[in-house]
């Protein structure tokens, strides 16, 4: 699977989890807690793959415009990973506050996904070409399996 197809599949999974979270009620505490754990794992792994594999290749192959988009995308990741997601994880899932935070996370992530899929990914296809994207995709698949194993082990140990 090439890098962009792999990342788009991740986007679909994340959007599915966000949809389930948005539709859940304040009584569905267990379901919400499980969905947040799933969301965190998906986002953490996805972010690492983008920042360690695709983004550097994209930035290197591009010019000033790609460099600006690279830093903007990294900043959006930082906002979700460092601020929004940790807040959501510590919010009681049975409260209206949780629902409000889910809405904000969903809007931020949908905006980020939209920008990647309509601007960055088409540019990356042109700049990097099929062979490089296939190679990056293979690298990402191996890393993804490794990261998933590490995170699952860490969660079981916790």
Give the span between the Cα atoms of 52 and 46, in whole angstroms.
10
What is 105-133 written as a DSSP string?
HHHHHHHHHHHIIIIIHHHHHHHHHHHHH
Give the CA distances from residue 62 to residues 36, 83, 139, in Å, rounded to whole numbers and listed in that order: 35, 29, 21
Of 132, 153, 140, 112, the closest CA to residue 51 belongs to: 140
What CATH number corresponds to the domain at position 123?
A: 1.20.120.520
Tokens of 139: 């690298």
Give the span between the Cα atoms of 156 and 24, in whole angstroms.
26
Could you tell me if residue 157 is inside a domain?
A: no
Could you tell me if residue 154 is inside a domain?
A: no
Could you tell me if residue 155 is inside a domain?
A: no
Q: What does pLDDT average to in each consecutive run of 10 residues of the chain (158 residues)?
A: 96 97 94 95 96 97 96 94 92 95 94 96 97 97 95 81
Could you tell me if residue 47 is inside a domain?
A: yes
Contact call for residues 124 and 5 (beta carbons, < 8 A): no
| The total number of structural domains that make up the chain | 1
Contact call for residues 30 and 77 (beta carbons, < 8 A): no
Predicted confidence at residue 114, as pLDDT, reads 96
Could you tell me if residue 86 is inside a domain?
A: yes
Give the span between the Cα atoms of 21 and 82, in whole angstroms.
20
Tokens of 140: 């990402």
Predicted confidence at residue 158, as pLDDT, reads 66
For the whole model, what pTM was predicted?
A: 0.93
């Amino acid at each position: 699977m090439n890098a962009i197809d792999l990342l788009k599949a991740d986007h679909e999974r994340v959007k599915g989890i966000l949809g389930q979270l948005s539709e859940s009620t304040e009584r569905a505490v267990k379901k919400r807690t499980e969905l947040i754990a799933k969301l965190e794992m998906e986002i953490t792994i996805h972010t690492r793959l983008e920042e360690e594999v695709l983004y550097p290749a994209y930035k290197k192959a591009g010019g000033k415009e790609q460099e600006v988009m690279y830093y903007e995308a990294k900043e959006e990741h930082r906002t979700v990973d460092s601020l929004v997601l940790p807040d959501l994880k510590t919010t009681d899932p049975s409260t209206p506050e949780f629902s409000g935070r889910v809405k904000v996370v969903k809007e931020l992530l949908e905006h980020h996904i939209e920008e990647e899929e309509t601007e960055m990914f088409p540019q990356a296809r042109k700049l990097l070409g099929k062979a490089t994207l296939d190679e990056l995709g293979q690298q990402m698949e191996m890393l993804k399996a490794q990261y998933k194993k590490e995170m699952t082990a860490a969660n079981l140990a916790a």
